[in-house]
Amino acid sequence: MNRPPVRLGAVGYLNSRPLVYGLDRSPRFAVRYDVPSRCAALLHEGGIDVGLIPSIEYLRGGPYCVAPDLAIASNGPVASVAIYTTKPMRDVTSIALDTSSRTSAALVRVLCERLYGIRPSFEAHGPTLPGMLARADAALIIGDNALFLDERQNGLEKIDLGDAWTTMTGLPFVFAFWAGRPGALTPADVQALQHARDEGVERPAELARAYLPDRPERHEIAARYLRDNIKYRLGGGERAGLELFYRYAAEAGLVDRAGPIQLYS
């Protein structure tokens, strides 16, 4: 008997496109796109079988397994996850957090405590920079909104959170990965996801043009971002960075527990 298609919940941002390359043409997968926080909610609710979820959400539901060697990660500047601030971070007393985010919001709290030594207030807000900065000293914005935002035109300082994490720890940071309940992916499914990644990462310029067909002035920035900033593997360094983040998040009270991830076999 044929198995029904795997319902995949993918992040709609540019950075996910190498991971889903060709999957919409596969009868094995049914792909939908949402913001990261919604991908997590759908997985927790059972609305999808496997989601490209914020890494922090692995500890907030499940039990889940993670597709091996697949991630959205950075090792240094990530370019698309940033705090935009009107004053030096040591003087920030309030931060507006992009409601699209889960992992990045947790990372902000960890960095404030461990890197910047501050305890600001936090407020969830839609990703509109003027509205956020009308209510707070700084704003967390993620995804395409951050990638294409020119902080210099707004007289702001941009704090790249991927760079801040690696500066503090010497490790990569894992923002998201494919996760689902045990048994949701077969070994052949995992191979198909890995093959999609392998094909996608070879095509940054093609993916940039397809994603931004009406914005040719952004193609070079987008292709460089896919090629140089985002890493798509979940190797030993990424696993070490993830486990350290989980420990810091648990110590900050952001999750109930920390621990290693369980991989699909």
Asked if 68 and 177 sit in the same domain, the reply is yes
Let me know if residue 259 belongs to a domain. Answer: no
pTM for this model (two decimals): 0.94
- In the chain, the percentage of residues whose pLDDT exceeds 70 is 99
Asked if 112 and 39 sit in the same domain, the reply is no
Let me know if residue 260 belongs to a domain. Answer: no
CATH number of the domain where residue 189 is located: 3.40.190.10
Asked if 67 and 41 sit in the same domain, the reply is yes
Let me know if residue 148 belongs to a domain. Answer: yes
* 11 pLDDT above the threshold of 80: yes
Asked if 64 and 177 sit in the same domain, the reply is yes
Asked if 99 and 177 sit in the same domain, the reply is no
How many whole angstroms separate alpha carbon 25 and alpha carbon 202?
18
User: What is the mean pLDDT of the segment spanning 69-82?
Assistant: 97
CB 137 within 8 A of CB 120: yes
Most confident of 142-146, 161-165, 253-257: 161-165
How many whole angstroms separate alpha carbon 147 and alpha carbon 153?
14
Asked if 97 and 153 sit in the same domain, the reply is yes
Choosing from 138, 169, 200, the residue where a domain stops is 169
Q: What confidence tier does 37 reach under pLDDT thresholds 50, 70, 90?
A: confident
Let me know if residue 258 belongs to a domain. Answer: no
User: What is the mean pLDDT of the segment spanning 138-144?
Assistant: 94
The pLDDT assigned to 258 comes to 86
How many whole angstroms separate alpha carbon 78 and alpha carbon 167?
12
- In the chain, the percentage of residues whose pLDDT exceeds 90 is 86
Q: What is the mean pLDDT of the chain?
A: 94
Let me know if residue 261 belongs to a domain. Answer: no
Choosing from 145, 169, 193, the residue where a domain stops is 169
Asked if 99 and 149 sit in the same domain, the reply is yes
Let me know if residue 100 belongs to a domain. Answer: yes
The pLDDT assigned to 61 comes to 87
The pLDDT assigned to 153 comes to 67
Asked if 87 and 147 sit in the same domain, the reply is yes
Choosing from 141, 169, 197, the residue where a domain stops is 169
Q: Which long-range contacts (CB under 8 A, 24 or more apart) does 253-261 make?
A: 254/56, 254/106, 254/109, 254/110, 255/56, 255/59, 255/60, 255/106, 256/59, 257/59, 258/59, 259/59, 261/58, 261/66
The pLDDT assigned to 2 comes to 72
The pLDDT assigned to 62 comes to 80
Asked if 38 and 149 sit in the same domain, the reply is no
Let me know if residue 126 belongs to a domain. Answer: yes
Asked if 193 and 232 sit in the same domain, the reply is yes
State the residue for tokens 């927790």. 44
Let me know if residue 1 belongs to a domain. Answer: no
Number of structural domains in the chain: 2
Asked if 186 and 230 sit in the same domain, the reply is yes
The pLDDT assigned to 170 comes to 98
pLDDT tens column, 209-239: 999 999 999 999 999 999 999 999 999 999 9
Asked if 152 and 181 sit in the same domain, the reply is no
How many whole angstroms separate alpha carbon 28 and alpha carbon 254?
36
How many whole angstroms separate alpha carbon 68 and alpha carbon 65?
9
Expressed as residue numbers, the domain containing 240 is 6-73+173-251
Lowest mean pLDDT among 2-6, 20-24, 197-201: 2-6
